[in-house]
Homo-oligomer: A and B are copies of this chain.
Amino acid sequence: MGRQRPGTPTLEEVAALAGVGRGTVSRVVNNAAGVRDSTRRAVRQAITELGYVPNLAARSLAGHRADAVALVMTEPDWRLFGEPFFTEVVHAVGDALTDTPVQLLLTLVRTDTERQRFVEYARGGRVDGVLLMSVHAEDALPDMLAKAGLPTVMLGRRSGDETITYVDADNTAGARGAVAHLLDTGRTTIGAVSGPLDMYVAQCRLRGYREALEGAGVTPASSLVVEGSDFTEQSGRRAMADLISRRPELDAVFAASDTLAAGALDALRAAGRRVPRDVAVIGFDDVHPARPTDPPLTTVRQPLGEIGRTMVRLLLEEMEDSPAGRRSVVLPTELVVRDSA
């Protein structure tokens, strides 16, 4: 068992050495106002002399806060942990917390054992709030935390009527803009490689595709839409192969993720199509910065940095406020034109 070495100086000892009361030392340590400057100096001196460091367990117990928040990655496939998507968010969250006294704790939750342990950790008061990344629709963790009354902010939504505070990209508008761009550049027969429609993000992106077509007076043909079974490149290849055989005349494709787009690209080439000349491809840029593709694709980019910062802002608000109304945020995406599609 580790913990503070025995012999670690306490507030009391500092007070004794400085010749003041414990309350005063506490005020100095916490930079509270109402302490004479000379006293403050004397206390600081004693602190330095003794090498005093506050016992955080005692502080938590008495102060009812942990000064820490957890950023949880609930991902059975831990390899995704290394994706630029997540590192970018982690970075932004770290930055947003840098000027606060709040310690950021990253946590991996892969199994039910780990889920249980983390919930006890959080409910036990070791963190004041929780940020959730990569939440799957069927994950029990978000509701466990909500039920425990812990301030929680999610990256993305699980459904249209998400009950937990979230920060999401405007997937619908992003997809709509992408398809509108394709229409603007003269493409007429635009296919869609959708993600699995049991995921809300896939629903939104497909909706955006449809809305853009309808906005242009085109009725979206179901023969132009293929649903991938997941977001992998392989799904993209299969879906695209399917799409070409069904509608060989298509001249553009909207893919619901960068991985699906990469797969679609493979399939198009295998079918002898040139991209973007014969067929233009636009995909979402989920793991910004995007994996290099050749040719570079026009993408819909999520503002990951801002997403991370916003998550922190909402979390801090929830931590301070009384249970005010949830105010989730949906951030705009950006169309990054990289080809002459």
Give the interface of A toward B (CB within 8 A): 1-5, 53-61, 64-66, 68, 78-79, 81-84, 86-87, 90-91, 94, 98, 101, 103-108, 110-111, 113-114, 117-118, 120-121, 123-129, 148-151, 318-320
Known A2-B150, A87-B78, A94-B108: A124·B54 in contact at CB below 8 Å: yes
What residue in chain B is nearest A319 (Cβ atoms)?
Answer: B2
Question: Are A57 and B125 neighbours in the complex by a CB distance under 8 Å?
Answer: yes
Judging by beta carbons under 8 Å apart, are A78 and B65 in contact?
no
| Alpha-carbon distance A58/B62, docked complex (angstroms) | 9
CB atoms of A2 and B65 under 8 A apart:
yes
Task: Pick from B65, B117, B128: contact of A103, CB below 8 A.
Answer: B117
Assembled-state Cα–Cα distance A311/B60 (Å):
30
Partner of A56, one of B86, B106, B118, B125: B125
Q: A2-B66, A128-B2, A150-B2 are in contact. Are A98 and B111 (CB under 8 A)?
A: yes
In the assembled complex, how far is the CB of residue A58 from the closest CB belonging to chain B, in whole angstroms? 5
Majority SS of interface residues in chain A? mixed
The reply to whether A101 and B117 contact each other, CB–CB distance below 8 Å, is: yes
One of B54, B118, B120, B125 near A3 (C-beta < 8 A) = B125
Closest to A110 in B: B94
In angstroms, how far is the closest chain B Cβ from the Cβ of A143?
14
A117 to B105, CA, bound (A): 12
What is the distance, in angstroms, from A97's C-beta to the closest C-beta of chain B?
9
CA distance A1 to B55 in the complex (A): 19
Knowing A87-B81, A148-B5, the reply to whether A106 touches B107 (Cβ < 8 A) is: yes
For A87, what are the chain B residues with a Cβ–Cβ distance below 8 Å?
Answer: 78-79, 81-82
| Residue numbers in B under 8 Å from A151 (CB-CB) | 2
Verify B82–A124 contact, CB threshold 8 A.
Answer: no
| A129 near B2: Cβ-Cβ < 8 Å | yes
Given the interface pairs A86-B82, A108-B106, the reply to whether A56 lies near B126 with Cβ below 8 Å is: yes
Q: Among the interface residues A3, A101, A113, A151, which one has the most CB atoms of the partner chain B within 10 A?
A: A3
Taking a contact as CB atoms under 8 Å apart, the answer to whether B105 and A106 are in contact is: yes
Q: Besides the contacts A3-B64, A3-B65, A68-B121, what 12 more A-B pairs have beta carbons closer than 8 Å? A: A1-B319, A1-B320, A2-B128, A2-B129, A3-B60, A3-B128, A57-B61, A61-B61, A94-B108, A98-B111, A98-B113, A106-B108
Q: How far is the CB of A44 from chain B (nearest CB, A)?
A: 15
Residues on B with beta carbons closer than 8 Å to the beta carbon of A319: 1-2
A58 cross-chain contacts in B, Cβ below 8 A? 57, 61
Selected from B3, B60, B91, B105, the residue in CB contact (under 8 A) with A105 is B105
Inside 8 A of A125's CB, which chain B residues have their CB?
A: 3-4, 55-57
Determine the chain B residues whose CB is within 8 A of the CB of A78 once the complex forms: 87, 90-91, 94
Which residues of B lie under 8 Å from residue A129 when comparing CB positions?
2
- Give the 8 A-B CB pairs with smallest separation, nearest first: A2-B128, A56-B124, A57-B60, A106-B106, A1-B65, A82-B82, A5-B149, A57-B61
Distance in angstroms between the alpha carbons of A57 and B114 in the assembled complex: 20
Q: List chain B residues, Cβ under 8 A from A55.
A: 61, 124-125
User: CA A56 – CA B108 in complex, angstroms?
Assistant: 20
Can you spell out 22 A-B residue pairs with CB atoms less than 8 angstroms apart?
A1-B65, A1-B319, A2-B66, A2-B127, A2-B150, A2-B151, A2-B319, A3-B65, A3-B66, A4-B64, A5-B148, A56-B125, A57-B124, A78-B90, A79-B84, A81-B90, A82-B82, A82-B84, A98-B111, A101-B117, A104-B108, A106-B107
